[in-house]
Structure 1
Amino acid sequence: MSKRKKKIDKRQMSLFDVLKRVAVSEQEPAEEGELNIANKLRLALITAIRQCPLKRFQIAGEMSHLLGHEVSKTTIDSWTAESKELNRIPAEYLPAFCRVTGDREPIRLVAEHGDMFAMPGPEALRAEIQKFTEQESKARAEKRKRMRFLEEMEG
Structure 2
Amino acid sequence: MSRRRASDTASSDMFAGYQPRPVVERFSAERVRASSCAARIKQALKETLRECGRSREQVAAEISEYLGEVVSPLILDQYTSGANEKSNIPAHRLVAVFAVTGDIRLLNALLEDTAAIAVPRKHEALIRREVAKELRDRLNQEIESADAEWRAAQ
TM-score (norm 2): 0.67
Contact 1:35 1:113 in 2 (8 A): no
Distance 1:146 1:35, change over 3 A: farther
Hey, what's the Cα distance between the residues in 2 that align with 1:138 and 1:115?
22
Distance 1:35-1:85 versus aligned 2 partners, 3 A rule = closer
The one-letter code of the counterpart of 1:37 is C
Q: Which runs of 4+ in 1 moved over 4 A?
A: 147-153
RMSD: 3.1
- Over 3 Å counting, the alpha-carbon distance change for 1:68 and 1:116 in structure 2 is same
Q: Is 1:98 matched up with 2:112?
A: no
The one-letter code matched in structure 1 to 2:68 is: G
Query: Which of 3, 12, 27 is 1:11 aligned to?
Result: 27
Q: How does 1:4-43 map to 2 (within 5 A)?
A: 6-8=20-22, 9=25, 11=27, 36-43=36-43
Is 1:139 the counterpart of 2:153 in the alignment?
no
- Asked whether the 8 Å contact 1:41–1:106 carries over to 2, the reply is yes
Maintained 8 Å contact 2:43/2:80: yes
Task: Please say if residues 49 and 56 of structure 2, whose CA atoms lie closer than 8 Å, have aligned partners that are also in contact.
Answer: yes
